[in-house]
Amino acid sequence: MSGDGSFEELIAEGAAAPVEGWAFDWLAGRAIEERPPWGYARLVAVRMAEADAALDVDTGGGEVLAEVPRPPRLLVATEAWPPNVPVARANLRPLGASVLAVAADAPLPFRDAAFDLVVSRHPVRTDWPEVARVLRPGGTFLSQQIGPGTVRELSEAILGPLPPPAHRHPAQAVAAARSAGLTVVHLREATLRTVFHDIGAVVWFLRKVVWTVPGFTVAAHRPALARLHERIQAEGPFVAHARRFLIEAER
């Protein structure tokens, strides 16, 4: 899709396109986000090649895990959003991985010290005591997380001015990891330019990345979407900034 069309056509496209899984291919040519400099997928592949038993928490559609060229002997993933589960199972079947549907915020359904590696990309919430519990002594947790106020410019374009972000600060993650008995061995942060070329891309993104505008619907937020569409038409692409951090901790 080029993103050409009227406001009504563009928001209809963004509202109709599927959002299952955690791939962003639909945005090709319509939006782009810079990648973090550390290369999370590459780091996961290296750790997986060295692991015996590994767990991917909040796997989404399994897109990152599916890139692993040398999976460990035991590979398990969890996912709490039901539409993602069949996508993840299809993507991870070639690796011999098991995908478990879990309830959000439920304890991890595994015995103590079951894994020497736990990974998680953009978890909804990290349950640090549970991560520590399922890690073997000497085991590693590697996670790329959403930082505070990510794409805040887009949130405020739809919702208006917001208070300073209170959650998802890297320092909070470090403190929680230490409180759970883990040792943080690596922490990196990045601010990434995110560009939306049309309002259809904005609608699709807000449907998929639900924490950007909680409770988002086209009907409820149509006036703000119309204003943002007019702004893009007059000024060019809308630019926001995503925030990410990489944290690695050992038990």
Whether residue 72 contacts residue 52, with contact meaning beta carbons closer than 8 Å, is answered with: yes
Q: CA angle, corner 172, sides to 57 and 186, nearest 5?
A: 65
Measured distance CA(228)–CA(250) in Å, rounded? 44
Measured distance CA(7)–CA(50) in Å, rounded? 50
Whose tokens are 């750790």? That residue is 47
DSSP state of 229: H
Strands (E), the chain: 31-33, 53-56, 74-79, 98-101, 115-121, 135-146, 183-196, 238-250
Strands (E), 18-72: 31-33, 53-56
Measured distance CA(25)–CA(13) in Å, rounded? 14
Q: What is the pTM of this model?
A: 0.90
Confidence of residue 1 (pLDDT cuts 50, 70, 90): very low
Determine the pLDDT at residue 20: 86
Determine the pLDDT at residue 23: 83
Whether residue 119 contacts residue 44, with contact meaning beta carbons closer than 8 Å, is answered with: yes
Determine the pLDDT at residue 110: 98
Whether residue 66 contacts residue 42, with contact meaning beta carbons closer than 8 Å, is answered with: no
pLDDT at 2 exceeding the cut of 60: no
Strands (E), 126-177: 135-146
Determine the pLDDT at residue 216: 97
Confidence of residue 164 (pLDDT cuts 50, 70, 90): very high
Measured distance CA(105)–CA(209) in Å, rounded? 18
Cα distances (Å, whole numbers) of residue 26 to 31, 60, 203, 208, 214: 9, 16, 12, 11, 21
Average pLDDT value over all residues in the chain: 96
Determine the pLDDT at residue 82: 94
Whether residue 53 contacts residue 112, with contact meaning beta carbons closer than 8 Å, is answered with: no
Average pLDDT over residues 78-91: 95
Confidence of residue 124 (pLDDT cuts 50, 70, 90): confident
- Tens of pLDDT, residue by residue over 12-23, are 999 999 998 778
Would you say how long the chain is, in residues? 251
Whether residue 225 contacts residue 218, with contact meaning beta carbons closer than 8 Å, is answered with: yes
Determine the pLDDT at residue 3: 61
Average pLDDT over residues 186-205: 98
Determine the pLDDT at residue 22: 79
Give the list of residues 6+ apart from residue 47 with CB closer than 8 angstroms, or none: 54, 117, 119, 140, 142
